[in-house]
Structure 1
Amino acid sequence: MTAQLAQDNSGELGGIAGWAVDLMDVLGGPGAAITVGFDNLFPPIPSELVLPLAGFSAANGTFSLVEALMWTTAGSVLGAIIVFYLGQLLGRDRTRWLICKLPLVKPEDFDKAEEWFAKHGTKAVFLGRMVPLVRSFISLPAGIQRMPFWIFLSLTTLGSLIWNSIFVVAGYALGANWHVVEEYAGVFQIIVIVLGVAAVTLFVVKRLRDRARTPA
Structure 2
Amino acid sequence: MLPAIAREAVAPAAEYEGFIGWVLSLMTTIGEVGVGLAMLIETFFPPIPSEAVLPGAGFLAWDGRMNVWWAIIAATLGSLVGAWVWYGLGAALGRTRTRWIFEKVPLLETADFDKAEAFFTRWGGAAVFFGRCVPLVRSFISIPAGVERMGLGVFTLYTTLGSLLWNAIWIGLGFAFGPAIDPVLEQWSGVLSTIVLVLIAVAIAWFILVRVRKRLKARDEESPAED
- Give TM-score, length-normalised by structure 1: 0.73
Gaps of 5+ in 1: none
2:134 to 131, 134, 141: 131
Equivalent in the alignment of 1:50:
53
Does residue 41 in structure 1 map to residue 49 in structure 2? no
Equivalent in the alignment of 2:4:
none
* 1:213 CA displacement: 8.9
Does residue 155 in structure 1 map to residue 158 in structure 2? yes
RMSD (Å) for aligned C-alpha atoms? 3.8
Q: Which amino acid aligns with 2:175?
A: Y
1:61 to 50, 57, 64: 64
* 1:158 CA displacement: 1.0
Gaps of 5+ in 2: 1-7
Compared CA separation, residues 103 and 49, structure 1 to 2 (3 A): closer
Compared CA separation, residues 41 and 109, structure 1 to 2 (3 A): closer
Compared CA separation, residues 75 and 95, structure 1 to 2 (3 A): same
The 8 Å contact of residues 172 and 178 in structure 1, kept in 2 or not, is answered as no
Deviates more, 1:103-112 or 1:77-86: 103-112
- 1:76-98 C-alpha deviation (Å, 9 max, x unpaired): 11111111112222222211222
Compared CA separation, residues 57 and 150, structure 1 to 2 (3 A): same
* 1:137 CA displacement: 1.6
1:13 to 6, 15, 18: 18
Query: How far apart in 1 are the matches of 2:112 and 2:53?
Result: 36
Number of aligned pairs? 207
The 8 Å contact of residues 43 and 139 in structure 2, kept in 1 or not, is answered as yes
- 1:25-46 C-alpha deviation (Å, 9 max, x unpaired): 1110011111111111112334
Equivalent in the alignment of 2:178:
175
* 1:210 CA displacement: 7.4
* 1:117 CA displacement: 2.7
* 1:209 CA displacement: 9.1
2:33 to 23, 30, 35: 30
Query: How far apart in 1 are the matches of 2:181 and 2:221?
Result: 49
Does residue 165 in structure 1 map to residue 173 in structure 2? no
The 8 Å contact of residues 72 and 168 in structure 2, kept in 1 or not, is answered as yes
**SS state at 2:13 partner:** helix
* 1:125 CA displacement: 1.5
Compared CA separation, residues 25 and 204, structure 1 to 2 (3 A): same
Does residue 80 in structure 1 map to residue 83 in structure 2? yes
- 1:82-120 C-alpha deviation (Å, 9 max, x unpaired): 111122222222112223346899878855653443222
- 1:38-64 C-alpha deviation (Å, 9 max, x unpaired): 111112334222211111122122232
Query: How far apart in 1 are the matches of 2:107 and 2:173?
Result: 43
Query: How far apart in 1 are the matches of 2:33 and 2:139?
Result: 20
